[in-house]
Amino acid sequence: DAGVTQSPTHLIKTRGQHVTLRCSPISGHKSVSWYQQVLGQGPQFIFQYYEKEERGRGNFPDRFSARQFPNYSSELNVNALLLGDSALYLCASSFRGASTEAFFGQGTRLTVV
Amino acid sequence: GQQLNQSPQSMFIQEGEDVSMNCTSSSIFNTWLWYKQDPGEGPVLLIALYKAGELTSNGRLTAQFGITRKDSFLNISASIPSDVGIYFCAGQLAGGGADGLTFGKGTHLIIQP
Protein backbone atom coordinates (compact mmCIF):
# COMPACT_ATOMS: atom_id res chain seq x y z
CA ASP A 1 0.00 0.00 0.00
CA ALA A 2 1.26 3.46 -0.85
CA GLY A 3 1.94 5.77 2.04
CA VAL A 4 1.61 9.52 1.98
CA THR A 5 3.22 10.92 -1.14
CA GLN A 6 4.42 14.49 -1.56
CA SER A 7 5.74 16.34 -4.57
CA PRO A 8 8.13 17.75 -5.40
CA THR A 9 10.78 16.41 -3.00
CA HIS A 10 12.98 19.47 -3.38
CA LEU A 11 12.69 22.87 -4.94
CA ILE A 12 14.42 26.20 -4.96
CA LYS A 13 12.52 29.47 -5.31
CA THR A 14 13.41 33.14 -5.32
CA ARG A 15 12.08 35.64 -2.79
CA GLY A 16 8.70 37.02 -3.83
CA GLN A 17 7.77 33.99 -5.90
CA HIS A 18 4.85 31.66 -5.33
CA VAL A 19 5.02 27.91 -4.65
CA THR A 20 2.54 25.03 -4.72
CA LEU A 21 3.21 21.80 -2.84
CA ARG A 22 1.15 18.66 -3.34
CA CYS A 23 0.15 15.75 -1.15
CA SER A 24 -1.72 12.49 -1.68
CA PRO A 25 -2.96 10.83 1.51
CA ILE A 26 -3.08 7.15 2.31
CA SER A 27 -5.95 5.45 0.51
CA GLY A 28 -9.08 5.68 2.65
CA HIS A 29 -7.82 8.58 4.73
CA LYS A 30 -9.96 11.70 4.58
CA SER A 31 -7.90 14.16 6.59
CA VAL A 32 -4.76 15.96 5.50
CA SER A 33 -2.67 18.28 7.65
CA TRP A 34 0.30 20.45 6.71
CA TYR A 35 3.31 21.19 8.90
CA GLN A 36 6.41 23.35 8.54
CA GLN A 37 9.65 22.06 10.02
CA VAL A 38 12.64 24.38 10.20
CA LEU A 39 16.07 22.98 10.92
CA GLY A 40 16.52 21.88 14.52
CA GLN A 41 12.84 22.23 15.45
CA GLY A 42 9.77 20.04 15.63
CA PRO A 43 7.06 20.40 13.00
CA GLN A 44 4.69 23.37 13.36
CA PHE A 45 1.04 22.98 12.43
CA ILE A 46 -0.15 25.03 9.44
CA PHE A 47 -3.53 23.65 8.29
CA GLN A 48 -5.87 20.71 8.71
CA TYR A 49 -8.44 19.68 6.12
CA TYR A 50 -11.11 17.05 6.62
CA GLU A 51 -13.70 16.11 4.03
CA LYS A 52 -12.54 19.01 1.86
CA GLU A 53 -13.16 21.65 4.52
CA GLU A 54 -10.61 23.59 6.55
CA ARG A 55 -10.88 22.36 10.13
CA GLY A 56 -7.90 24.10 11.69
CA ARG A 57 -5.29 26.74 11.05
CA GLY A 58 -2.04 27.38 12.86
CA ASN A 59 -0.32 30.69 13.49
CA PHE A 60 0.84 31.37 9.93
CA PRO A 61 0.32 34.49 7.79
CA ASP A 62 -2.30 34.77 5.07
CA ARG A 63 0.41 34.15 2.48
CA PHE A 64 -0.16 30.48 3.32
CA SER A 65 -3.27 28.82 1.93
CA ALA A 66 -4.38 25.30 1.17
CA ARG A 67 -7.19 23.27 -0.25
CA GLN A 68 -8.36 19.66 -0.40
CA PHE A 69 -9.78 18.06 -3.50
CA PRO A 70 -12.65 15.55 -3.88
CA ASN A 71 -10.11 12.70 -4.03
CA TYR A 72 -8.74 13.95 -0.67
CA SER A 73 -5.40 15.06 -2.12
CA SER A 74 -4.27 18.51 -1.06
CA GLU A 75 -2.23 21.51 -2.12
CA LEU A 76 -0.36 24.00 0.03
CA ASN A 77 0.25 27.39 -1.55
CA VAL A 78 2.66 30.02 -0.31
CA ASN A 79 2.72 33.49 -1.88
CA ALA A 80 5.38 36.20 -1.74
CA LEU A 81 8.04 33.85 -0.49
CA LEU A 82 10.45 35.04 2.19
CA LEU A 83 13.85 33.64 3.08
CA GLY A 84 12.33 32.47 6.37
CA ASP A 85 9.93 30.20 4.51
CA SER A 86 12.82 27.85 3.78
CA ALA A 87 11.92 24.62 5.55
CA LEU A 88 10.78 21.03 5.20
CA TYR A 89 7.04 21.02 4.52
CA LEU A 90 5.34 17.89 5.75
CA CYS A 91 1.95 16.49 4.90
CA ALA A 92 0.21 14.15 7.34
CA SER A 93 -2.68 11.85 6.57
CA SER A 94 -5.19 10.46 9.04
CA PHE A 95 -8.45 8.58 8.76
CA ARG A 96 -10.42 11.38 10.34
CA GLY A 97 -9.30 14.33 12.44
CA ALA A 98 -5.92 15.17 13.94
CA SER A 99 -6.86 13.34 17.12
CA THR A 100 -6.22 10.02 15.41
CA GLU A 101 -2.88 8.61 14.30
CA ALA A 102 -1.23 10.88 11.75
CA PHE A 103 1.13 9.41 9.15
CA PHE A 104 3.64 11.69 7.48
CA GLY A 105 5.04 11.88 3.98
CA GLN A 106 8.73 12.34 3.27
CA GLY A 107 8.28 16.08 2.94
CA THR A 108 9.15 18.78 0.43
CA ARG A 109 12.40 20.63 1.07
CA LEU A 110 11.84 24.27 0.06
CA THR A 111 14.79 26.61 -0.23
CA VAL A 112 14.13 30.31 -0.81
CA VAL A 113 17.08 32.33 -2.10
CA GLY B 1 3.65 28.45 18.36
CA GLN B 2 3.44 26.34 21.48
CA GLN B 3 5.85 23.44 21.77
CA LEU B 4 6.13 20.68 24.28
CA ASN B 5 9.11 20.56 26.61
CA GLN B 6 11.03 17.52 25.47
CA SER B 7 14.14 16.24 27.22
CA PRO B 8 16.89 15.48 26.93
CA GLN B 9 17.85 17.41 23.80
CA SER B 10 20.44 14.78 22.91
CA MET B 11 21.70 11.50 24.27
CA PHE B 12 25.02 9.78 23.71
CA ILE B 13 24.75 6.13 24.71
CA GLN B 14 26.46 2.81 24.18
CA GLU B 15 24.86 0.08 22.11
CA GLY B 16 22.79 -2.18 24.36
CA GLU B 17 21.90 0.53 26.86
CA ASP B 18 18.34 1.50 27.73
CA VAL B 19 17.08 4.96 26.76
CA SER B 20 14.46 7.16 28.38
CA MET B 21 13.05 10.47 27.17
CA ASN B 22 10.02 12.50 28.15
CA CYS B 23 7.73 15.36 27.27
CA THR B 24 5.93 17.73 29.59
CA SER B 25 3.47 20.55 29.15
CA SER B 26 1.44 22.96 31.20
CA SER B 27 -1.60 22.03 29.08
CA ILE B 28 -3.75 18.91 29.07
CA PHE B 29 -3.56 16.58 26.08
CA ASN B 30 -6.07 14.05 24.73
CA THR B 31 -3.57 12.13 22.65
CA TRP B 32 0.16 11.54 22.81
CA LEU B 33 2.15 10.29 19.84
CA TRP B 34 5.82 9.39 19.53
CA TYR B 35 7.65 9.68 16.21
CA LYS B 36 11.15 8.93 14.91
CA GLN B 37 12.66 11.00 12.12
CA ASP B 38 15.73 10.09 10.08
CA PRO B 39 17.66 12.72 8.08
CA GLY B 40 15.80 13.82 4.96
CA GLU B 41 12.70 11.83 5.84
CA GLY B 42 9.32 12.52 7.37
CA PRO B 43 8.51 11.44 10.94
CA VAL B 44 7.50 7.80 11.36
CA LEU B 45 4.84 6.97 13.94
CA LEU B 46 6.11 4.67 16.68
CA ILE B 47 3.43 4.62 19.36
CA ALA B 48 0.04 6.29 19.89
CA LEU B 49 -1.54 6.79 23.34
CA TYR B 50 -5.15 7.77 23.93
CA LYS B 51 -5.96 7.37 27.63
CA ALA B 52 -4.42 8.76 30.80
CA GLY B 53 -2.26 6.10 32.43
CA GLU B 54 -2.08 4.01 29.26
CA LEU B 55 1.15 2.03 28.86
CA THR B 56 1.83 0.71 25.35
CA SER B 57 4.69 -1.30 23.89
CA ASN B 58 5.94 -1.72 20.34
CA GLY B 59 8.81 -4.20 20.35
CA ARG B 60 11.63 -2.68 22.38
CA LEU B 61 9.75 0.61 22.72
CA THR B 62 7.42 1.41 25.61
CA ALA B 63 5.51 4.66 26.09
CA GLN B 64 3.14 5.93 28.73
CA PHE B 65 0.44 8.60 28.84
CA GLY B 66 0.86 10.44 32.12
CA ILE B 67 -2.04 10.33 34.56
CA THR B 68 -2.16 14.14 34.76
CA ARG B 69 -2.48 14.14 30.92
CA LYS B 70 0.33 16.70 30.83
CA ASP B 71 3.24 14.39 30.16
CA SER B 72 4.45 11.26 28.42
CA PHE B 73 7.61 9.21 28.31
CA LEU B 74 9.26 6.86 25.83
CA ASN B 75 11.67 4.09 26.76
CA ILE B 76 13.84 2.12 24.37
CA SER B 77 15.39 -1.05 25.74
CA ALA B 78 18.65 -2.61 24.57
CA SER B 79 19.45 0.06 21.97
CA ILE B 80 20.82 -0.96 18.59
CA PRO B 81 22.55 1.14 15.88
CA SER B 82 19.35 1.59 13.83
CA ASP B 83 17.76 3.39 16.78
CA VAL B 84 19.87 6.44 15.90
CA GLY B 85 17.72 9.38 14.90
CA ILE B 86 15.58 12.18 16.27
CA TYR B 87 12.59 11.26 18.42
CA PHE B 88 9.64 13.62 18.69
CA CYS B 89 6.72 13.63 21.05
CA ALA B 90 3.49 15.14 19.75
CA GLY B 91 0.17 15.77 21.38
CA GLN B 92 -3.37 16.74 20.59
CA LEU B 93 -4.54 19.44 22.99
CA ALA B 94 -7.74 18.77 24.92
CA GLY B 95 -10.47 20.75 23.22
CA GLY B 96 -8.02 21.61 20.47
CA GLY B 97 -9.28 19.44 17.68
CA ALA B 98 -8.73 22.24 15.20
CA ASP B 99 -5.19 22.96 16.27
CA GLY B 100 -3.38 20.00 14.81
CA LEU B 101 -0.56 18.30 16.67
CA THR B 102 1.84 20.13 18.96
CA PHE B 103 5.41 18.82 18.73
CA GLY B 104 8.39 18.83 21.03
CA LYS B 105 11.79 19.97 19.78
CA GLY B 106 13.07 16.42 19.60
CA THR B 107 15.61 14.19 21.31
CA HIS B 108 18.64 13.40 19.19
CA LEU B 109 19.77 9.85 19.96
CA ILE B 110 23.40 9.02 19.15
CA ILE B 111 24.78 5.54 19.74
CA GLN B 112 28.49 5.21 20.28
CA PRO B 113 30.15 2.01 19.08
pLDDT in tens, B58-80: 999 999 999 999 999 999 999 99
Query: Which chain A residues touch B92 with a CB distance below 8 Å?
Result: 98-99
CB burial of residue B40 (10 Å; 0-12, 13-18, 19+): exposed
Residues, chain B, total? 113
Q: Which stretches of chain A sit within 8 Å of chain B by CB?
A: 4, 33, 35, 40-48, 55-59, 90, 92, 97-107, 109
Radius of gyration of chain B from Cα atoms? Answer: 14
Annotate B42-107 with three-state secondary structure.
CCEEEEEECCCCCEEEECCEEEEECCCCCEEEEEECCCCHHHCEEEEEEEEECCCCCCCCEEECCE
- Taking alpha carbons only, the member of B91, B107, B92, B87 closest to residue B44 is B87
Give me the residues paired with residue B87 across strands: B36, B107
Say yes or no to pLDDT of B106 above 60.
Answer: yes
d(CA A102, CA B30): 14
* Nearest chain A CA: its distance from B31 CA (Å): 7
| Residue-level pLDDT at A96 | 75
Residue A97: is its pLDDT beyond 70? no
